[in-house]
Amino acid sequence: MLTKRRWLAAGAALAVVGGGVAAAQTATAGPAPRQCPTLHVTKGWYGDNRAKLQKMIDERGSCAGSHGARPVATFDWDNTVVKNDISDATLAWMLRHDKVLRPASWKATNKWLTDDAARALTEACGTQVPAGHPLPTSTDTGCTDEILDVYNDEKTSDGKPAFAGEWNHRRTVPSYVWITQLFAGHSPDTLTSYAAKARKQNLAAPIGTEQTVGTHKWAGYIRYYEQQRDLIGTLKKAGFDVYIVSASAEPLVRAWAPGVGIDRDHIVGIRNIVRDGRLTTGVQGCGDVKDTNGEVLTYMDGKRCWINQEIFHVKGAKAWQQQDPAHRAAFAAGDAETDVTFVGDATAGHLAINRNKTELMCRAYDNSDHRWIVNPMFIEPKKRKTDAYPCSTAGYVQPDGTLAPIHRPDGSVIPDQQDTVY
């Protein structure tokens, strides 16, 4: 509209100067506005969500005639761009193919791992295999089961807590750190190759497939959401700079992101420290937090920090703060609490894939800035949550892990919300 108004103004001025209609008509003709690319996939979008997304693209894309910096779009990966979890899929493939290397000390893999968990892992996996060599997890179901219990249930096989201590619950999760620490000893490229093999297996498996890992039943398929592939491609054509920001290890995402046209320079995931060409159990820090044992991940507020640091080049402690609109993504998409901060930071549109995750859905349904879009999962959507989300009392995860009311930017409390999009 701004470009058109300028041409109209110019035409009127020429008409006055030239004293005739012909000059005004010549001026108002101007170059035709660029046509914004259009979303093609219609199935799976709830209500008028596709139209809302198209409107956002038309208004904020470079096709709209703006001449400033390219607008940024940021997407979570697992269960946002694809159905199911690529970390789980890769770990399952590695366990079934003897690719997890025995650490010299289980206790040393993770600063929050309990003595009980370290003891259980040592007993289950033994010490016969030299440190740094592959564990026979394809046949040793006891070892495999213990690893999966610690990772997935955060308990040992006999029910004792696997992780303990203090951590900032808006920056990290010990089990999220630990899965990346199980990849230690491999080169990043080797880990990407394992993820690629898991990708091939999981894409070939029919929807609904389960696989057996140890004695555990585990999701055995993954699918790209065609709706998200279309959205990402359309955003790129419209001039958006599109990034994946994932709480999976970055080498894993590198195996998957090309499937939606995202290159490695547009991926931000958990970045374990590499030493002598191999991944270690250390994790890169963000902002004013130096390299750590996993105290900061691309998780919740940590995703904001990594976006600010890697995409908008905000350094130091300031990277933890919400930036001015010029240094924030225009659009963001996520599915869980891990995404709530960066999705909320977007200035033009927030897409929430409904997995019944309280803090995200409270903010999405409250829709205080009228830019939230809620959509059911595109494959095997969740059923309606029958009780209200406890936004007003226990929706906000505090740094110490306790729950509190969720506040809007103006300080008011978000009331409890009903689940209406499912």
C-alpha–C-alpha distance, residues 330 and 313, integer Å? 16
- Look at the block and give the residue holding tokens 């008028």: 48
Helix axes 86-96, 141-148, angle to 10 degrees: 160
Residue with tokens 């970390």, as numbered in its chain: 87
Phi-psi region at 388: left, alpha or beta (left = phi > 0; alpha = psi -120 to 50): beta
Residue 13: predicted pLDDT: 36
Q: What is the pLDDT of residue 8?
A: 34
| CB count in 10 Å sphere of residue 204 | 9
The DSSP call for residue 417 is B
The DSSP line for 98-162 is T-PBPPS-SGGG-TTB-HHHHHHHHHHH-S-SPTTSB--TTT-HHHHHHHHIIIIISB-TTS-BS
Q: Are 417 and 388 in contact (CB under 8 A)?
A: yes
Smallest CA-to-CA distance from 371 within 416, 325, 321 is with 325
Amino acid at 296: V
CB 385 within 8 A of CB 354: no
Distance (Å, whole) CA 297 – CA 293: 10
Cβ-defined contacts of 369-373 (< 8 Å, 24+): 371/56, 371/346, 373/49, 373/52, 373/53, 373/349
Quick one: DSSP state of residue 384?
P
CA 416/CA 362 separation, integer angstroms: 7
- Using a 10 angstrom Cβ sphere, with 0-12 exposed, 13-18 middle and 19 or more buried, the burial of residue 383 is exposed
What Cα–Cα distance (Å) separates residue 33 from each residue in 4, 36, 336?
Answer: 8, 9, 38
* Extended beta strands in 259-385, E state: 267-270, 272-275, 278-283, 331-334, 349-354, 372-376
* pTM, two decimal places: 0.91
Say how many CA atoms lie within 13 Å of 210 toward its Cβ. 6
Joined tokens for residue 270 = 């958990």
CA atoms within 13 A on the CB side of 52: 16
pLDDT at res. 362: 98
Helices in 33-85 by DSSP H: which ranges? 49-60
What are the structural domains of the chain? 70-78+225-389 (3.40.50.1000), 86-219 (no CATH)
Residue tagged 């300080």 (tokens): 411
Q: Provide the residue-wise pLDDT of the chain in tens; the chain has 422 residues.
A: 434 333 333 333 333 334 443 333 334 444 445 689 999 999 999 999 999 999 999 999 988 776 678 999 999 999 999 999 999 999 999 999 999 999 999 999 999 999 999 999 999 999 999 999 999 999 999 999 999 999 999 999 999 999 999 999 999 999 999 999 999 999 999 999 999 999 999 999 999 999 999 999 999 999 999 999 999 999 999 999 999 999 999 999 999 999 999 999 999 999 999 999 999 999 999 999 999 899 999 999 999 999 999 999 999 999 999 999 999 999 999 999 999 999 999 999 999 999 999 999 999 999 999 999 999 999 999 999 999 999 999 999 999 999 999 999 999 999 999 999 99
**Whole-number pLDDT of residue 27:** 40
Query: For residues 267 and 272, what is the distance between their CA atoms, to the nearest angstrom?
Result: 14
β-pair type (403-404, 396-397): antiparallel
**Beta-bridge partners for 212:** 217
